[in-house]
């Protein structure tokens, strides 16, 4: 019976090649790997079709999925390659590390340290060899070679020297005691050739000489345990990096995969070819001459620096000197966004399996790199993708995030930014308590959110998300809750706040062909209550409250127009006419905005608006009140002044009539109002105001051909679906400008 302990570096490509060479040479009848013992059954999946690295085994507490640990693998991880080698040849595989049931129970002893352990044994070994860079030393000695069994003899000797006199943590003692116990069991079971694949640091501790089974049993006795489940989850190269917080991480997983796949002398040239291809895709120059020069420069740099062959530093320096674009190469090739895959029948929670089915049905494959996805809701595929992304978003698994401002005016298009992160797999495990399928889990979570909502706007947000996700069982209870809460809320402002999102939900629901009858009834009831209470609510407002009310009035107008609601031209128009009156108890900002809304809706013509504006700016009205009226009327857009010279004249005459003191009192308000206009609008208003007698603005000059303009208007009417009249009078310059 012989035991061979192969000390490796986790995720080391040279270690992986050496492990494979040693296994081919030793031909063991059992392979022991540093892996949680209670997840041994999961190792049988390595090497099967569908399970592609990078992946990780997720171990989580069944009663509290948020408490979890990961065991990641890359395609170049030595443990992954050793298990795949054994599974392919029907060689027994055993996991020998401390069980996850103990690790996750975590009483804090794992992190407790007695004495001072060496923080980085590789640094000490590299320093002894005269190299100040431990990463470069390890790559030169191990990762770029892959010499097989002889390399492990050198590693064992080096680690024995590095561990001499050091004191390990309690957690490490427990892990190594469990490994030794598993090794003794393999010896007892009669295996003739035993190979152990473990981290190089543990090699000296697995020497059974001088360590008794009773002492190891005492170390492991009485440890807390919890019930743990496990599942394979996709992982990414980025999550393998040290920068991600992974303690056993590496700096360059993409480079390491390349070194494993192309270990020969042509590996550098192949990497530079990939870099050149990437740079050309990004629009940069990278010719064959660049490749030849970069390859030669990398070789020269390695010679000058005393390295046996070019490493990553030499390759990157050469590429940057010859081709440039080093940041792109580092992100895409040195690290990379490789994402593993897990087959449906591998150990997973039912919710994750259902999500995978939904992703295939929607033809939306999860990838690690962020990308923008445009969805057309008029197509079955676009609608399925939208439902999937919204349901995951509702569940608290934000695979996709909606891009603000990218939804089309017709609401037929959605834009999402999607990127699958490994943490989302943990979220699915955590959310599996809501249900075993995506629909049931998302529905349960939205119902819970609606029950916990404290305000009307929050409930409307839940209803909207339920509609967009096509979760009818979540819509109905939340609509009832919304109706009950709205009926008992005495604040008209709160009701006005929810009118706009409700209208958007109804409009968007129509596009998705969802039944929102109950929600429409709630909306109609809210409109009635708003119309009844908005006039009293606009009395005796201070400046801040008036500004907020102006936003609410504009929102209500927008909501009614969005749905073409009958009250837009009836009840709400009557309310606006009352609010447009300038009274002592009504803020000028509200009166001005009401007048503008009446103008924009077409209820008031230019003549009536001009009369109201003249009244508001008349000599009997205080200058600050008139300025507030102008701000409310013009806020956000000066187009109305550009195309209606009578209104511009009223404002101009009012400004000219102000005394110096009155002008000083209102100049701040006016500067804020006119400063919000577009630069082109301000230039046009200035030109109209300083160009002599005020004349009509067409925007096209004074020599407009009325007959040709009329023909243009006929074409525009046809494009907009507006019926043509039998006899069309020549278009006025004002109409052309509009």
What is the pLDDT at residue 108?
41
3-state class (DSSP) for residue 211: coil
Whether the ω angle into residue 54 lies within 30 degrees of 0, i.e. cis, is yes
Please give the Cα distance from 226 to 464 (Å, whole number). 40
Q: Give the position of tokens 């046996």.
A: 308
Question: Which pair of structure tokens corresponds to residue 235?
Answer: 């992982």
8 A C-beta contact, residue 445 and residue 473: no
Please give the Cα distance from 56 to 72 (Å, whole number). 4
What is the pLDDT at residue 28?
95
What is the pLDDT at residue 702?
58
Query: Which of 337, 335, 320 has the alpha carbon at shortest distance from 276?
Result: 320
Strand pairing partners for 32? 94, 196
Phi-psi category of 405—alpha, beta or left, where left has phi over 0 and alpha has psi -120 to 50? left
For the chain, what's the residue count? 738
Strand pairing partners for 573? none
Query: Which of 473, 497, 472, 470 has the alpha carbon at shortest distance from 485?
Result: 497
8 A C-beta contact, residue 233 and residue 111: no
Please give the Cα distance from 206 to 84 (Å, whole number). 23
Please give the Cα distance from 107 to 119 (Å, whole number). 23
CA dihedral (363, 369, 372, 375) in degrees, to 10, reads 10
Question: Which pair of structure tokens corresponds to residue 115?
Answer: 């004495």
Query: Which of 135, 129, 136, 130 has the alpha carbon at shortest distance from 302?
Result: 136
Kindly list the strands in the beta sheet with 228-234, ordered across the sheet, starting from the edge strand earlier in the chain: 64-73, 55-61, 228-234
Strand pairing partners for 224? none
Chain centroid, CA 322 distance in Å:
35
**What's the Rg (C-alpha) of the chain?**
36
8 A C-beta contact, residue 54 and residue 72: yes
8 A C-beta contact, residue 628 and residue 582: no
Please give the Cα distance from 437 to 496 (Å, whole number). 37
What is the pLDDT at residue 20?
93
Strand pairing partners for 72? 56
Q: How does pLDDT run across 238-282, given as a tens digit for each residue?
A: 888 877 667 777 888 999 899 899 887 788 899 999 999 999 988
Chain centroid, CA 437 distance in Å:
23
Query: Which of 552, 562, 557, 572 has the alpha carbon at shortest distance from 509?
Result: 562
Q: Indicate the burial class of 501 (C-beta count within 10 angstroms; 0-12, 13-18, 19 or more).
A: middle
Please give the Cα distance from 403 to 510 (Å, whole number). 21
Q: Indicate the burial class of 569 (C-beta count within 10 angstroms; 0-12, 13-18, 19 or more).
A: middle
3-state class (DSSP) for residue 702: coil
Chain centroid, CA 511 distance in Å:
26
Strand pairing partners for 415? 374
Q: How does pLDDT run across 107-119, given as a tens digit for each residue?
A: 443 433 323 334 4
Strand pairing partners for 375? 414
8 A C-beta contact, residue 95 and residue 43: yes
8 A C-beta contact, residue 462 and residue 477: no
Q: Indicate the burial class of 185 (C-beta count within 10 angstroms; 0-12, 13-18, 19 or more).
A: middle
Please give the Cα distance from 596 to 362 (Å, whole number). 46
Q: Indicate the burial class of 673 (C-beta count within 10 angstroms; 0-12, 13-18, 19 or more).
A: buried
DSSP-derived pairing of the beta strands 92-97 and 30-36: parallel
Question: Which pair of structure tokens corresponds to residue 376?
Answer: 């057309």
Residues of the chain with pLDDT under 50: 107-119, 406-410, 692-699, 727-738
DSSP alpha helix (H) spans, 282-374: 288-304, 312-322, 326-329, 350-361
What is the pLDDT at residue 115?
32
């Amino acid at each position: 019976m012989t035991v061979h302990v192969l000390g490796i570096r986790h995720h080391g490509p040279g270690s992986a090649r050496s492990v494979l060479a040693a296994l081919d040479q030793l031909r063991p009848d059992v392979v022991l790997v540093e892996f949680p013992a209670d997840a041994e059954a999961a190792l049988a999946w390595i090497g099967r079709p569908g399970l592609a690295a990078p992946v990780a085994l997720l171990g989580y507490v069944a009663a509290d999925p948020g408490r979890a640990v990961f065991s990641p693998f890359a395609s170049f991880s030595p443990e992954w390659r050793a298990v795949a080698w054994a599974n392919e040849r029907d060689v027994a595989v055993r996991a020998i590390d401390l069980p996850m049931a103990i690790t996750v129970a975590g009483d804090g002893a794992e992190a407790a340290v007695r004495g001072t352990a060496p923080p980085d044994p590789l640094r000490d070994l590299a320093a002894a060899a005269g190299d100040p860079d431990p990463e470069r030393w390890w790559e030169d000695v191990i990762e770029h070679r892959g010499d097989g069994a002889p390399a492990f003899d050198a590693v064992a000797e080096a680690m024995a020297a590095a561990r001499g006199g050091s004191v390990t943590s309690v957690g490490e003692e427990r892990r190594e005691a469990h490994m030794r116990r598993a090794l003794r069991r393999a010896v007892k079971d009669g295996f003739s050739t035993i190979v152990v694949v473990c981290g190089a640091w543990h090699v000296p501790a697995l020497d059974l000489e001088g360590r008794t089974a009773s002492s190891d049993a005492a170390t492991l006795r009485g440890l807390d345990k919890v019930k743990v489940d496990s599942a394979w989850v996709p992982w990414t190269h980025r999550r393998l990096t040290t920068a991600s917080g992974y303690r056993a991480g590496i700096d360059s997983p993409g480079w390491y995969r390349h070194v494993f796949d192309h270990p020969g002398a042509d590996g550098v040239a192949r990497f530079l070819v990939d870099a050149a291809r990437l740079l050309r895709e990004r629009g940069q120059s990278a010719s064959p001459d660049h490749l030849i020069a970069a390859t030669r420069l990398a070789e020269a740099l390695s010679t000058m620096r005393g390295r046996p062959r070019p490493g990553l530093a030499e390759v990157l320096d050469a590429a940057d000197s010859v081709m440039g674009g080093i940041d792109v190469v580092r992100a895409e090739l040195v690290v990379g966004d490789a994402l593993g895959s897990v087959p449906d029948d591998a150990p997973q929670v039912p919710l994750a399996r259902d999500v995978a089915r939904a992703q295939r049905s929607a033809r939306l494959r999860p990838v690690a790199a962020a990308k923008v996805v445009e969805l057309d809701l008029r197509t079955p595929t676009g609608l399925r993708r939208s439902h999937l992304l919204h349901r995951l978003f509702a569940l608290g698994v934000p695979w996709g995030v909606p891009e603000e401002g990218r939804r089309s005016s017709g609401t037929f298009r959605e834009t999402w930014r999607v990127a699958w992160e490994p943490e989302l797999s943990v979220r699915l495990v955590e959310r599996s308590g809501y249900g075993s399928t995506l629909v049931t889990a998302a529905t349960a979570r939205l119902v819970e959110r609606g029950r916990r909502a404290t305000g009307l706007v929050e409930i409307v947000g839940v209803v909207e998300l339920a509609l967009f996700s096509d979760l009818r069982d979540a819509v109905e209870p939340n609509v009832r809750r919304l109706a009950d809460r709205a009926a008992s809320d005495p604040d008209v402002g709160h009701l006005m706040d929810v009118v706009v999102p409700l209208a958007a939900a109804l409009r968007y629901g129509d596009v998705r062909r969802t039944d929102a009858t109950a929600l429409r009834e709630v909306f109609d009831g809210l409109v009635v209550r708003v119309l009844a209470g908005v006039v009293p609510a606009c009395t005796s407002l201070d400046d801040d409250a008036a500004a907020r009310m102006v936003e609410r009035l504009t929102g209500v107008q927008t909501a009614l127009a969005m749905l073409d609601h009958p009250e837009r031209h009836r009840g709400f128009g009557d309310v606006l006419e009352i609010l447009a009156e300038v009274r002592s108890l009504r803020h000028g900002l509200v009166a001005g905005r009401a007048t503008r809304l009446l103008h924009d809706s077409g209820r008031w013509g230019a003549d009536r608006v001009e009369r109201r504006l003249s009244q508001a700016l008349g000599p009997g009205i205080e200058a600050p009140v008139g300025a507030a009226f102008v701000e409310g009327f013009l806020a956000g857009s000066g187009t109305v002044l550009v195309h209606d010279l009578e209104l511009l004249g009223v404002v101009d005459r009012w400004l000219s009539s102000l005394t110096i003191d009155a002008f000083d009192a209102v100049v701040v308000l006016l500067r804020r109002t006119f400063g919000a206009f577009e630069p082109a609008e301000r230039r046009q208003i200035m030109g109209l105001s300083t160009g002599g007698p005020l004349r009509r603005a067409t925007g096209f000059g004074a020599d407009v051909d009325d007959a040709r303009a009329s023909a243009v208007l006929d074409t525009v009417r046809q494009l907009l679906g507006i019926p043509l009249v039998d006899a069309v009078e020549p278009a006025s310059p004002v109409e052309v400008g509009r």
